[in-house]
Amino acid sequence: AQKVTQAQTEISVVEKEDVTLDCVYETRDTTYYLFWYKQPPSGELVFLIRRNSFDEQNEISGRYSWNFQKSTSSFNFTITASQVVDSAVYFCALSTTSGTYKYIFGTGTRLKVLA
Amino acid sequence: DVKVTQSSRYLVKRTGEKVFLECVQDMDHENMFWYRQDPGLGLRLIYFSYDVKMKEKGDIPEGYSVSREKKERFSLILESASTNQTSMYLCASSLFRGGETQYFGPGTRLLVL
């Protein structure tokens, strides 16, 4: 079975703090893709990153960074020097290429950044 | 840029009404999806389509149907709306099958009274 777990339901931080959002996944497939999306209060899910299972390099994009570790089946997302505009719900998702068109989403982590 | 649009941002309907939610994408994507999002449950797949006139049930298809007559358009139909279908509905599209990035529309917040 495929599953994505985001154990943190809600996190509150003060502006400029660093924050890490956890994502743990389960799949038996050897080829799979992991995603992070941001959902601001407006409601639209905004794509942040896509990572395939063969690329374990960490990725950095501005204040955002992602740590992919196959050994622990985790794909964590860190925001450095958080800002109020980072307040949103963040979703981690998993997709495989084993014949299904499905994407498995976690339940999301609500991040509140306080000024 | 990929653009996915949904016909309405907010809808209020009465129990028993037939409701149409439309989604249009402009990037010639093969796959389109309808999800509903409820607090604490994340995104749940209702239906998806991998080609014109093709559709597959997702995890919660009961009470819904879909139509895809043209590649760019994917409609979700609530045959007889019920209060438990009050939710946020999100449409998405992706270029090919699993593994490709999904792009989402702005969502439709549906309230069934």
Q: Is B71 helix (H, G, I), strand (E, B) or coil?
A: coil
d(CA A37, CA A91): 5
d(CA A36, CA A17): 20
d(CA A71, CA A74): 8
Nearest to B105 among A31, A44, A97 (CB): A44
User: For B44-93, how does the pLDDT look when each residue is reduced to its tens digit (9 = 90+)?
Assistant: 999 999 889 889 999 999 999 999 999 999 999 999 999 999 999 999 99
Instruction: Identify the closest residue of chain A to B103 by CA–CA distance.
Output: A47
Cβ neighbour number for residue B77 with a 10 Å cutoff: 15
Beta strands in A40-105, from DSSP E residues, in sequence order: 46-52, 59-61, 64-69, 74-79, 88-96, 103-105
Predicted confidence at residue B97, as pLDDT, reads 72
Structure-token pair, residue A102: 């499905």
What is the average per-residue pLDDT within B88-107?
Answer: 90
User: For A33-83, how does the pLDDT look when each residue is reduced to its tens digit (9 = 90+)?
Assistant: 999 999 999 889 999 999 999 988 888 899 999 999 999 999 999 999 999
B102 touches chain A (CB under 8 A): yes
Chain A residues within 8 A of B97 when measuring between CB atoms? 97, 101
Predicted confidence at residue A100, as pLDDT, reads 64
Nearest to B104 among A44, A50, A102 (CB): A44
Cβ neighbour number for residue A79 with a 10 Å cutoff: 20
pLDDT over threshold 90, residue B99: no
d(CA A65, CA B63): 41
Q: Which residues contact B39 (CB under 8 A, 6 or more apart)?
A: none
d(CA B26, CA B35): 19
What percent of chain A stands above pLDDT 70? Answer: 97
User: For B23-39, how does the pLDDT look when each residue is reduced to its tens digit (9 = 90+)?
Assistant: 999 999 999 999 999 98
Instruction: Identify the closest residue of chain B to A39 by CA–CA distance.
Output: B106
Predicted confidence at residue B53, as pLDDT, reads 87
B8 touches chain A (CB under 8 A): no
List, in sequence order, every residue forming a beta bridge with B33; answer none if it has no partner.
Answer: B48, B92
Structure-token pair, residue B56: 């597959």
pLDDT over threshold 90, residue A8: yes
List, in sequence order, every residue forming a beta bridge with B19; answer none if it has no partner.
Answer: B78
Secondary element (H or E) of residue B96 = none
Secondary element (H or E) of residue A5 = strand A3-5
Asked if A11 and A1 touch (Cβ cutoff 8 Å), the reply is no
Chain A residues within 8 A of B92 when measuring between CB atoms? 45
Q: Sign of the CA dihedral A89, B39, A11, A50?
A: negative
B84 touches chain A (CB under 8 A): no
Predicted confidence at residue B66, as pLDDT, reads 97
d(CA B113, CA B96): 38
What percent of chain B stands above pLDDT 90? Answer: 81
**Confidence class of residue A114 from pLDDT cuts 50, 70 and 90?**
very high
For residue B51, give how far its alpha carbon lies from the nearest alpha carbon of chain A (Å): 12
